[in-house]
């Protein structure tokens, strides 16, 4: 595993240390790795959403009404009503 040194202002350093003290992280590296993983997930989800929005925009105007669309969404996801 590679090592990386990061400079932080004192308030940020205090914040990181406080997060470790909660017991959710074993050390500062564990906390930073979690932040990076969350950022990676966020960016992946954002890219997926952008691609879906672009595809939807390119698909044109739907002939279906909002009620029919919601009915299909609910059926697809096993939601009642």
Q: How far apart are CA 22 and CA 72, in angstroms?
A: 44
Confidence (pLDDT) at 81: 58
DSSP three-state, residue 7: coil
Is residue 68 domain-resident? yes
Is residue 9 domain-resident? no
Is residue 4 domain-resident? no
Confidence (pLDDT) at 80: 74
Q: Which of 38, 41, 20, 39 is nearest to 29 (CA)?
A: 20
Q: What percent of the chain has pLDDT over 90?
A: 93
Range of the domain at 33: 24-76
**pTM of the prediction?**
0.71
């Amino acid at each position: 595993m590679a090592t990386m040194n990061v400079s932080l202002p004192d308030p940020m350093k205090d914040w990181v240390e406080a997060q470790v003290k909660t017991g959710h992280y074993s050390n500062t590296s564990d906390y930073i790795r979690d932040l990076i993983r969350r950022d990676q997930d966020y960016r992946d989800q954002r890219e997926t959403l952008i691609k879906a929005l672009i595809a939807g925009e390119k698909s044109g105007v739907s002939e279906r009404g909002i009620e029919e669309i919601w009915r299909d969404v609910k059926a697809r996801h096993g939601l009642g009503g």
